C-alpha cells in the first residue's frame, strides 16, 4: 500500500455543516484524507505521517496525506497550528472561533469533530502534534512507547467515532524531556551509526539513525519537548551531528550534557586541537583562549538548529570536575566557584556574538560539585538561566541545594531526575516507582522548580513504565495520582489479571532495600556489581598472597574503585549520593530481604504471564520478570561472594571455594536470562553492555575461583 503525497485543490474552502456527523477515519468504503496546510513545520508533517503509519498497522488501509491551504473533503483530518498564518486562516474558514482559546499559549491543543471532519488545532506546532498524538493514543490505542515496549497497536477493521473531543491547556512543566545517557546498549545494538573519536572505554560507535528515530518518535508521542540525544555529542563528527538533526526535525528542543557547555566536551576539545597539531590540557584555567575558541566554533554549529537550550558551566573530563583534569586550577571551593562563574559569563558573551538578537534559552545543571558549590553560594549564575537541581541519584530525593537555594525571579528552575544511573544506580533493572517519581516532582513544583524536567533514561527499553509515568506527570501534575495512573497503565496493556499484575509491580518496587542513614536504595544492580567486584579484588589479593588476613576492611559501596583523596565539592556531593557500606552482616541481612521480595514479584508475574496473550506476556516478562530475575541472580551472586570473603577471613579456604563455586553458578544463570531478553527484534541488545559488563564480571568470578581451588595433581 502506498502513501499518497498529493497537493489538494485550493479552489474552495468548505464550511463545516451545523449538524454533527459521525467521523470515519477508516470505514469499509472510506479512508480519510489528512491535510497538513502549507507552511506547517516539518514536525507536523512527520506527526501526520505517524498517523498514516499507525492506521496502516491497525487496518491495513492507507490514508491520503497532502498539503494545501484549500479544500478538504468531508470526513478528513485537518492539522493546523494557529501561530502559522495559512493554517490559522484555513482553520477560521472551516470552524470559526475554534481556536480562540489557543492564541498565545504554549503547546496547547484542541481536537474535536466538526461535522464529519476531525480538526486538530495547536497553539503552536508542538501543540498541534501533541494534540494528534493524544488522539492517536486515546482513540487508536497506540502506546507512545510501543516500539520500546514491543507493543504494536491491536488490529481493527474500522476506525469510526460518533464524536471526538480532546483539549489541553499548557503543560505543567514548560520543558519536559529525556537524557539519553550511559547508552552502551543503544550504541552497538544496530550497526551503521559510524565511529566516534573518543578516548573513553565506551561509545566507540554512534547510535544509528534507525535507532535514534524511534527514540525521538517515542519522545514526541509522549508529549515531551526536550532531548539530550547522547553522551558527549561532538557536532563536528557527521554521524553525531545526525543525532541532533533527527531530533531537531521533530520540532523539539535539543540540549547538551552537563559536561558540554556550548556543546563542547573534553573529548571534542582534544579532537579539535589534535586536528590542529596541538596536544593541549583541557583547562579553561591554563588555556582560556583555546577553550574560548572551541566554544565559539561549536556554538556556531549548534546555532544552526532552531530550538537549542544551551548548557552553561565548566567541568572536566568525562563526568568529573575540571580540577581533576588540571591540578593547577584553584584549590579552594571559592576559587573554583569563581572560575566556573567567569566561564558562564564568557559563554553568554560568545552566544551574543554567534547568535545575536535570537531568542535563546540557557540552563546550568547543578550536578555533583555544582550542587555543593551552589549550596555554598559560590556560583554566580547569569540572569535568565534555567537552574537545574539534581536528585540524589537515583530518583529518590533532591540534593541539599534544592532546598537551600533562594529562587531568584530573574531565573527559572527545574530538575534533573534519574530513572537510570550507571555505576551506583539502575541500569539493567528499573528501581524508582511512579509513586517515588511523583513525590520528587511534586516537591519540585511546590518548591518553585517546576518549569523544566530532564529524565536520565539511559537505554530507554528497561524504563518504559517509569518513563511513561514521568511524561504523564510533567504534562499534567494537577490531579495526578500514581495509583490511578498505574491502574490505567495496566488496564490499557493487559486484558486480564490486572490486580495480580499491579500487585507484582508493587512487590517488585517495594523489594529494593533502603539505606538506614542516607535513605536511598543501596543494593541496585550497579551497586551490587560494584560491591561484588570490589570484594573479588580483595579476595584475589589475599589468595594470591596465600595469606588470608582477618579483619580486612570492606570496599565502600561506590561506582568505581576510585577513593576520595579529599572532601572537596565533588566528593562531598557524591558521598551523599553513594551510600556508605553498612558492613557485611547488614548487607547480607538486607540482601536476604530484597531477595525474598524479588522472588515474590517474579513468581507472581510469571504465573500471570503464563495466562496472558503472547504480546501481553512478552511485555510483562521483559519489563518485570526479566528485571526481577536479573536483580535476584545478582543478589544471589553477591551473597556468595561476600560469604566467600567471610570464609577466607576465618581462614576457611574450602568454604571460600564452595561459596565462589556457588557465586559462579549464580552469575552464569544471568547470561542464560539475557538470551531470552535479547531475542527476535531485540537480538544483540546486550552486545554493547560495557557499563555493567556481565561477561567481564563472570570471568572475574571464575578467575578468583580458580585462585581458590587447589592445584590439579
Question: Model confidence over 373-391: pLDDT tens digits?
Answer: 999 999 999 999 999 999 9
pLDDT at 566: 53
Cβ neighbours of residue 4 under 8 Å, at least 6 residues apart?
Answer: 62, 64, 65, 66
Q: For residue 179, which phi and psi values (nearest 5 degrees)?
A: -110, 110
**What CATH number belongs to 4-168?**
3.30.379.10
pLDDT at 302: 98
Cell 502559522 identifies what position?
A: 84
- Higher-scoring residue by pLDDT: 54, 203: 54
Res 16 pLDDT > 50: no
d(CA 625, CA 270): 44
Q: For 695-698, which contacts have Cβ atoms below 8 Å and span 24 or more sequence positions?
A: 695/671, 697/529, 697/532, 697/533, 697/667, 698/664, 698/667, 698/668, 698/670, 698/671
CATH 3.20.20.520 in the chain, residue ranges: 175-488
Cβ neighbours of residue 271 under 8 Å, at least 6 residues apart?
Answer: 197, 234, 236, 237
At 711, the pLDDT band (50, 70, 90 cuts) reads: confident
Q: Which residues pair with 165 in a beta bridge?
A: 112
Cβ neighbours of residue 259 under 8 Å, at least 6 residues apart?
Answer: 232, 265, 266, 315, 316, 318, 319
pLDDT at 22: 83
d(CA 124, CA 583): 56
pLDDT digits (tens, 9 = 90+) for 233-288: 999 999 999 999 999 999 999 999 999 999 999 999 999 999 999 999 999 999 99
Res 586 pLDDT > 80: yes
Res 607 pLDDT > 70: yes
Q: What percent of the chain has pLDDT over 90?
A: 84
pLDDT at 713: 60
pLDDT at 712: 64
Please compute the mean of the pLDDT values over residues 82-88 and round it to a whole number. Answer: 95
User: What is the helix (H) or strand (E) element at residue 361, kind and residue range?
Assistant: strand 361-366
pLDDT at 672: 94
Q: Which three cell numbers stand for residue 384?
A: 535568565
d(CA 315, CA 321): 5
pLDDT digits (tens, 9 = 90+) for 69-80: 556 667 799 999
pLDDT digits (tens, 9 = 90+) for 98-130: 999 999 999 999 999 998 899 999 999 999 999
Cβ contact 642:535 at 8 Å: yes
User: What is the helix (H) or strand (E) element at residue 175, kind and residue range?
Assistant: strand 175-179
DSSP 651: T
Please compute the mean of the pLDDT values over residues 439-452 and round it to a whole number. Answer: 98
CB atoms within 10 A of CB 84: 21
Q: What is the mean pLDDT of the chain?
A: 91
State in Å, rounded, how far the first CA of the chain is from the last one. Answer: 71
Res 19 pLDDT > 50: no
Please compute the mean of the pLDDT values over residues 431-441 and round it to a whole number. Answer: 98
Handedness of CA 246, 250, 256, 262 (dihedral sign): positive
CA distances from 698 to 104, 587, 647 (A): 58, 21, 20
Cβ contact 93:85 at 8 Å: no
Q: For the residues of 48-102, what is the DSSP string, one character each?
A: HHHHHHHHHHHHS---EEEE-SS---TT-EEEEETTSHHHHHHHHHHSTTTTTTT
CATH 3.30.379.10 in the chain, residue ranges: 4-168
Q: Model-level pTM?
A: 0.93
Q: Which three cell numbers stand for residue 597?
A: 521480595
Cβ neighbours of residue 670 under 8 Å, at least 6 residues apart?
Answer: 630, 633, 634, 637, 694, 698
Res 505 pLDDT > 90: yes
pLDDT digits (tens, 9 = 90+) for 134-183: 999 999 999 999 999 999 999 999 999 999 999 999 999 999 999 999 99
Strand bridging mode 109-114 / 117-122 = antiparallel
Best CA proximity match to 259, nearest among 406, 450, 416, 394:
416
Cβ neighbours of residue 525 under 8 Å, at least 6 residues apart?
Answer: 426, 427, 428, 429, 630, 631, 634, 692
d(CA 693, CA 686): 9
CA distances from 365 to 305, 616, 626 (A): 21, 39, 34
Res 309 pLDDT > 60: yes
Res 563 pLDDT > 70: no
- Residue 353 has, within 13 A of its CA and on its CB side, a CA count of 15
Best CA proximity match to 314, nearest among 290, 352, 346:
346
d(CA 246, CA 222): 17
d(CA 479, CA 497): 27
Res 549 pLDDT > 70: no
CA distances from 343 to 336, 364, 375, 382, 416 (A): 11, 12, 19, 11, 22
d(CA 678, CA 454): 28
Q: Which three cell numbers stand for residue 494?
A: 493487559
Please compute the mean of the pLDDT values over residues 187-213 and round it to a whole number. Answer: 93
Q: For the residues of 215-239, what is the DSSP string, one character each?
A: HHHHHHHTT--EEE-SSS--TTSHH
Best CA proximity match to 451, nearest among 386, 391, 385:
386
Cell 542516607 identifies what position?
A: 518
d(CA 398, CA 416): 9
Res 21 pLDDT > 80: no
Please compute the mean of the pLDDT values over residues 413-422 and round it to a whole number. Answer: 95
Res 684 pLDDT > 80: yes
Q: Which three cell numbers stand for residue 357?
A: 538578537
User: What is the helix (H) or strand (E) element at residue 122, kind and residue range?
Assistant: strand 117-122
Best CA proximity match to 257, nearest among 288, 234, 284, 280:
234
Cβ contact 395:469 at 8 Å: no
d(CA 516, CA 633): 24
Axis crossing angle, helix 525-545 with helix 694-708, rounded to the nearest 10: 30
d(CA 130, CA 544): 61
Res 524 pLDDT > 50: yes
Fold type of domain 175-488: TIM Barrel (3.20.20)
Q: For the residues of 499-519, what is the DSSP string, one character each?
A: HHHHHHHHHHHHHS-B-TTT-
CB atoms within 10 A of CB 259: 25
Res 8 pLDDT > 90: no
Cβ contact 185:685 at 8 Å: yes
CA distances from 67 to 80, 86, 290, 311 (A): 11, 11, 48, 37
Amino acid at each position: 500500500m502506498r502513501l499518497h503525497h498529493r497537493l489538494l485543490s485550493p479552489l474552495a474552502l468548505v464550511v463545516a455543516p451545523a449538524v454533527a456527523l459521525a467521523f470515519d477515519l477508516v470505514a469499509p468504503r472510506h479512508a480519510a484524507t489528512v491535510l497538513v496546510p502549507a507552511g506547517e513545520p516539518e514536525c507536523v508533517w512527520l506527526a501526520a505521517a505517524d498517523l498514516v503509519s499507525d492506521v496502516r498497522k491497525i487496518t491495513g488501509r492507507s490514508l491520503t496525506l497532502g498539503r494545501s491551504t484549500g479544500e478538504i473533503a468531508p470526513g478528513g483530518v485537518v492539522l493546523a497550528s494557529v501561530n502559522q498564518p495559512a493554517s490559522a486562516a484555513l482553520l477560521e474558514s472551516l470552524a470559526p472561533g475554534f481556536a480562540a482559546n489557543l492564541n498565545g499559549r504554549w503547546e496547547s491543543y484542541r481536537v474535536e469533530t466538526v461535522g464529519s471532519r476531525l480538526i486538530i488545532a495547536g497553539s503552536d506546532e508542538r501543540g498541534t502534534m501533541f494534540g494528534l498524538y493524544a488522539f492517536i493514543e486515546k482513540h487508536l490505542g497506540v502506546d507512545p512507547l510501543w516500539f520500546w515496549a514491543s507493543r504494536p497497536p491491536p488490529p481493527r477493521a474500522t476506525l469510526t467515532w460518533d464524536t471526538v473531543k480532546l483539549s489541553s491547556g499548557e503543560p505543567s512543566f514548560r520543558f519536559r524531556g529525556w537524557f539519553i545517557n550511559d547508552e552502551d546498549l543503544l550504541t552497538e545494538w544496530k550497526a551503521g551509526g559510524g565511529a566516534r573519536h573518543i578516548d573513553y572505554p565506551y561509545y566507540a560507535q554512534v547510535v544509528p539513525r534507525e535507532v535514534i528515530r524511534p527514540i525521538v518518535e517515542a519522545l514526541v508521542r509522549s508529549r515531551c519537548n526536550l532531548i539530550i540525544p547522547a553522551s558527549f555529542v561532538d557536532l563536528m563528527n557527521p554521524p553525531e551531528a545526525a543525532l541532533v538533526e533527527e531530533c531537531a526535525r521533530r520540532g523539539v528542543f535539543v540540549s547538551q550534557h552537563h559536561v558540554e557547555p556550548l556543546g563542547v566536551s573534553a573529548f571534542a576539545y582534544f579532537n579539535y586541537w589534535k586536528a590542529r597539531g596541538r596536544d593541549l590540557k583541557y583547562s579553561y584555567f591554563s588555556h582560556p583562549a583555546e577553550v574560548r575558541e572551541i566554544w565559539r566554533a561549536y556554538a556556531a554549529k549548534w546555532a544552526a538548529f532552531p530550538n537549542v537550550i544551551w548548557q552553561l558551566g565548566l567541568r572536566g573530563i568525562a563526568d568529573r570536575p575540571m580540577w581533576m583534569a588540571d591540578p593547577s586550577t584553584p584549590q579552594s571551593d571559592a576559587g573554583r566557584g569563581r572560575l566556573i562563574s567567569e566561564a558562564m559569563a564568557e559563554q553568554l558573551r560568545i552566544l551574543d556574538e554567534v547568535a545575536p538578537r535570537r531568542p535563546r534559552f540557557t540552563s546550568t545543571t547543578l550536578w555533583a560539585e555544582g550542587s555543593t558549590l551552589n549550596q555554598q553560594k559560590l556560583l554566580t549564575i547569569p540572569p535568565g538561566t534555567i537552574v537545574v537541581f539534581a536528585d540524589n541519584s537515583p530518583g529518590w530525593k533532591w540534593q541539599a541545594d534544592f532546598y537551600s537555594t533562594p529562587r531568584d525571579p530573574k531565573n527559572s528552575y527545574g530538575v534533573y531526575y534519574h530513572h537510570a544511573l550507571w555505576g551506583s544506580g539502575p541500569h539493567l533493572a528499573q528501581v524508582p516507582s511512579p509513586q517515588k517519581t511523583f513525590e520528587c516532582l511534586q516537591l519540585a513544583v511546590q518548591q518553585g522548580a517546576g518549569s523544566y524536567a530532564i529524565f536520565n533514561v539511559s537505554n530507554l527499553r528497561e524504563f518504559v513504565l517509569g518513563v511513561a509515568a514521568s511524561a504523564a506527570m510533567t504534562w499534567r501534575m494537577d490531579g495526578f495520582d500514581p495509583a490511578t495512573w498505574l491502574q490505567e497503565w495496566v488496564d490499557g496493556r493487559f486484558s486480564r489479571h490486572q490486580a495480580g499484575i499491579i500487585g507484582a509491580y508493587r512487590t517488585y518496587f517495594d523489594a529494593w532495600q533502603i539505606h538506614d542513614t542516607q535513605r536511598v536504595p543501596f543494593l541496585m544492580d550497579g551497586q551490587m556489581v560494584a560491591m561484588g567486584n570490589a570484594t573479588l579484588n580483595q579476595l584475589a589479593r589475599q589468595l594470591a598472597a596465600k595469606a588470608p588476613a582477618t579483619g580486612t576492611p570492606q570496599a565502600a559501596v561506590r561506582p568505581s574503585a576510585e577513593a576520595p583523596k579529599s572532601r572537596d565539592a565533588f566528593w562531598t556531593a557524591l558521598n551523599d549520593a553513594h551510600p556508605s557500606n553498612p558492613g557485611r552482616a547488614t548487607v547480607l541481612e538486607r540482601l536476604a530481604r530484597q531477595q525474598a521480595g524479588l522472588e515474590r514479584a517474579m513468581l507472581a508475574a510469571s504465573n500471570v504471564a503464563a495466562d496472558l496473550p503472547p504480546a501481553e506476556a512478552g511485555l510483562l516478562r521483559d519489563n518485570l520478570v526479566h528485571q526481577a530475575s536479573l536483580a535476584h541472580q545478582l543478589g544471589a551472586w553477591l551473597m556468595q561472594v561476600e560469604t566467600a570473603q567471610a570464609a577466607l577471613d576465618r581462614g576457611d579456604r574450602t568454604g571460600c571455594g564452595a561459596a565462589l563455586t556457588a557465586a559462579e553458578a549464580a552469575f552464569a544463570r544471568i547470561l542464560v536470562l539475557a538470551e531470552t531478553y535479547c531475542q527476535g527484534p531485540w537480538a544483540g541488545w546486550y552486545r554493547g553492555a560495557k557499563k555493567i559488563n556481565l561477561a567481564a564480571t563472570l570471568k572475574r568470578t571464575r578467575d578468583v575461583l580458580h585462585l581458590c581451588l587447589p592445584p590439579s595433581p
